[in-house]
Amino acid sequence: MRLVFMGTPEFAVPSLKRLAQSSHSVVGVVTVPDKPAGRGLKERPSAVKQAALELDIPILQPEQLKQPDFLSALKKWQADCYAVVAFRILPVEVFGIPKRGTINLHTSLLPKYRGAAPIQWAIMNGEQETGVTTFLIDRKVDTGDILMQKRIPILSNDNLESLHDKLSEKGADLLLKTMDRLEQGTLDPQSQQGDVTPAPKITQAHCRIDWNNSSEKIHNQVRALSPIPGAFTALNDRRIKIFRAEPADSDMQSKTETGAVLQADSSGILVQCGSGQLKVHELQLEGKKRLNAAAFLRGTLLQKGDWFISA
Q: How far is CA 151 from CA 135, 210, 310, in A?
A: 15, 31, 36
pLDDT at 162: 98
Closest of 126, 80, 136 to residue 105, by C-alpha: 136
Domains of the chain are 2-184 (3.40.50.170), 204-299 (3.10.25.10)
pLDDT at 25: 98
Ranges in the chain, pLDDT < 70? 38-40, 250-255, 311
Neighbouring residues of 191: CB distance < 8 A, sequence distance ≥ 6:
145, 146
pLDDT digits (tens, 9 = 90+) for 249-306: 765 656 678 999 999 999 999 999 999 999 999 999 999 999 999 999 998 888 888 9
Closest of 112, 97, 114, 21 to residue 60, by C-alpha: 97
pLDDT at 251: 59
Kindly report the backbone phi and psi dihedral angles of residue 282, in degrees, each rounded to the nearest multiple of 5, phi listed first: -140, 135
pLDDT digits (tens, 9 = 90+) for 110-144: 999 999 999 999 999 999 999 999 999 999 999 99
Buried b (16+ CB within 10 A) or exposed e, 52-77: beeeebeeeebeebeeeebbeebeeb
Say what the pTM is: 0.94
Contact 1, 80 (CB under 8 A): yes
CA angle 199, 141, 106 (to 5 degrees): 60
Regarding beta strands 231-235 and 146-153, do their DSSP bridges make them parallel or antiparallel, or are they unpaired? unpaired
